[in-house]
Structure 1
Amino acid sequence: MRSTLSLTDTVSRAQKHLATEVDGNFILMSIEGGTYCGLDEIASDIWRRLARPLTVEALCQAMAANYRGDREQITADVLELLASLRDQRLIDVG
């Protein structure tokens, strides 16, 4: 079982991946993991922000400011997406 992500973790796109944008949404493939996934509009926004390393906390703050939703729900949703991307080897966590 993988460790839980922390708000203080730094996240960024993995080096070995392929990504293409179709109608504003990304399709990703992990070269190391051999997996692929499609991202919806909000997940694609997160993917764009992961072009540079940032903390999970900073990412959650940016998403909450941009989408003006419930902060706790946004944080939970971001953590869930990041865990999935990590498990597919699409992001690096440090």
Structure 2
Amino acid sequence: MNKIISTNDVVSQVESNIVSDMDGEKVMLSIENGKYYNLGDTGGEIWECMKEPISIQDLINTLVMKYDVGEQICRDQVIGFIDSLRVQGLVKIEST
């Protein structure tokens, strides 16, 4: 299913993953599909923000305040990252 992600959508982690911190980067094992993922530094930060359900706009606002990045670039990259996590079955996205 190809869903268009909106900044109003709420995203959260799927619980069947084991996440570890390795040299400042998040590495994850999906129990569901048996694959490893290196989320990197910023991806790990996004992952941490999704421990509890969060709107994508709130996530973008958090990252814009923390990093030296414009909102449009941040939005594009965050939505792309979340979409790739969605395709792998690693996050839940709920429309509001």
Normalising by structure 1, report the TM-score: 0.91
Pairs within 5 Å for 1:4-43: 4-43=4-43
Amino acid at match of 2:30: S
Q: For 1:13, give the aligned amino acid.
A: Q
The C-alpha deviation readout for 1:17-57, integer Å capped at 9, x for no partner, is 11111111111122223332101111111111111110001
Task: Output the CA distance in 2 between the equivalents of 1:3 and 1:35.
Answer: 23
CA distance in 1, matches of 2:56, 2:11: 7
Distance 2:71 2:26 in 1: 24
Rounded Cα–Cα distance in structure 2 between residues aligned with 1:28 and 1:68: 26
Consecutive unaligned residues in structure 1, runs of 5 or more? none
Sequence identity percentage: 26
Other-structure match for 2:77: 77
Output the CA distance in 1 between the equivalents of 2:56 and 2:25.
21
How do residues 39-58 of structure 1 correspond to structure 2 at under 5 angstroms? 39-58=39-58
What value does the CA root-mean-square deviation take over the aligned residues?
Answer: 1.2
Q: TM-score, normalised by structure 2?
A: 0.89
Preserved CA contact (<8 Å) 2:7 2:57: yes
Once residues 14 and 8 of structure 1 are traced to their aligned partners in structure 2, the CA distance between those partners, rounded to angstroms, is 19
